[in-house]
Amino acid sequence: MRFQMLPRETWPDFLDLPWDEPLAKWRSSRIVEVARGISRHVVRFVDYDGILYALKELPARLAEREYRLLRELAAASVPVVEVVGVVSERGIPTAGFPAEEGTPSNANGDQLGAVLITRHLEFSLPYRTLFTVRGIGDLHTRLLDALVELLVRLHLAGFFWGDCSLSNTLFRRDAGALAAYLVDAETGELHPSLSDGQRAFDLAIAEENVAGELLDVMAALAEDAEPSDARIEDPLAVAAQLRPSYEALWSELTRDEIFAPNERFRIDARLRRLNELGFDAEEFELLTVKGGYRLRLPTQVVEAGHHRRRLLMLTGLDVGENQARRLLNDLDRFRAELRQKEGRSLPDAVVGYKWRAEVFEPAVAAVPAELAAKREPAELFHELLDHRWYRSEAAGHDVGMADAVASFLEQVLRSVPDERAPIASPPT
């Protein structure tokens, strides 16, 4: 057997699992059932001290390839599931071994493919589950926006997906919106950059897959007795929105702009617009053209995570992009209050540290252990801010954080389902 693993202190060695059996037949106390999308391959989840890992059995060549692609995408800061390793050459050495010469098998003659191990993405929701949870207003717009952003980010990084679909994507709450993560990279190809044709082709695949998947969920929802507000009238029209949304974002991020010599301010305006969208340009190019300049932003230098990086720098908190936006707003409010109290401005780093220690951490720490699996800390904080606002509105004055936390825990958090690793619902 061959274990090819990335070295991380916190990861287990996985040696106690029944590797000489096909994954589908495993009986282990570590196996857990969590909500997940449909798939061709056998995918199962194991639990090591409360941390879950996804195991996917597939031919060695594909597993190696997916392992490599997931690593490369992570290095390019694209949101993907975190890869742990690949286990191959399983079973007993027989003729036809090593693996390159065929799929190894065990004493019973079961074929044993390789197994790709990834870390289960905590608080992620497969798209079918999204249609059953509450609290995501305007779900199909959110879903589409998240998928479009993921696809654009992959394309900026030069990744042709080849199988973009809702079931190959995982969604996490991101301050009321959704953030999408790539889960299945098996069909992908990484290039220095993509041609327009490659991007259009990837988009066509996505549109077709998403249309089918939405039709599917709607059929399932229609059978439910309970009316759902997540119902979509026209799934095909929703899927058809994918292309224009993608084109709009792609163009905002990458289009060339021509301006006159006295319009230098347009460089700033463009870069600011990029930041508002949550992106940064590591560099830009100016080319002189007739009558002025051409501003170019090569795809390789446009990177997502503007607010996220800023919050990380100020507070050490690493959260979703929209969550970071929200937390930064609260940090600004805190800065203004502090300035008034102290009669002077404190350095950014000090304000960031104080805000984290005096505002963020106490709110998160107030959540009792039995409610900790409901929401991820940054999302919890976002919902808490909303709750505080609503209560203050109703009361006609600011109710304060302590009051908001207490009522949020009892009136809201206690009654929502756990989302850290949602349990699989019985198959329908």
Ligand X SMILES: Nc1ncnc2c1ncn2[C@@H]1O[C@H](COP(=O)(O)OP(=O)(O)OP(=O)(O)O)[C@@H](O)[C@H]1O
Selected range binding ligand X among 38-46, 85-93, 319-327, 370-378, rule: CB under 6 A: 38-46
Could you tell me if residue 357 is left (phi over 0), alpha (psi between -120 and 50 degrees) or otherwise beta? alpha
Restricting to residues 180-209, which ones interact with Mg ion according to CB under 5 A?
Answer: 184
For 170, the token pair is: 């995982």
CB of 186 to ligand X, least distance (A): 5
8 A C-beta contact, residue 314 and residue 271: no
The residue from 124, 132, 315, 322 that contacts ligand X (CB under 6 A) is 124
When asked if residue 54 is in the footprint of ligand X (CB under 6 A), the reply is: yes
Selected range binding Mg ion among 38-46, 49-57, 133-141, 350-358, rule: CB under 5 A: 38-46
> In the bound complex, which residue of the shown chain has the CB atom lying closest to ligand X?
37
Is-cis flag, bond preceding 7, omega within 30?
no
When asked if residue 425 is in the footprint of ligand X (CB under 6 A), the reply is: no
Selected range binding ligand X among 40-48, 135-143, 147-155, 213-221, rule: CB under 6 A: 40-48
When asked if residue 168 is in the footprint of Mg ion (CB under 5 A), the reply is: yes
When asked if residue 217 is in the footprint of ligand X (CB under 6 A), the reply is: no
Selected range binding Mg ion among 57-65, 138-146, 168-176, 268-276, rule: CB under 5 A: 168-176
41 binds, among Mg ion, ligand X, none (CB under 5 to 8 A by kind): ligand X
CA distance from start to end of the chain: 37
CB of 93 to ligand X, least distance (A): 28
Restricting to residues 397-416, which ones interact with Mg ion according to CB under 5 A?
Answer: none
388 binds, among ligand X, Mg ion, none (CB under 5 to 8 A by kind): none
> In the bound complex, which residue of the shown chain has the CB atom lying closest to Mg ion?
184
- Comparison of 41 and 155: residue with beta carbon closer to ligand X: 41
The residue from 105, 132, 167, 322 that contacts ligand X (CB under 6 A) is 167
Instruction: Using the structure block, give the residue that is written with the tokens 């021509």.
Output: 258
Closest of 28, 103, 97 to residue 63, by C-alpha: 103
Selected range binding Mg ion among 35-43, 60-68, 111-119, 204-212, rule: CB under 5 A: 35-43
Residues making contact with ligand X (CB under 6 A)? 36-37, 39-41, 43, 54, 56, 81, 118-121, 124, 126, 163, 167-168, 170, 183-184, 186
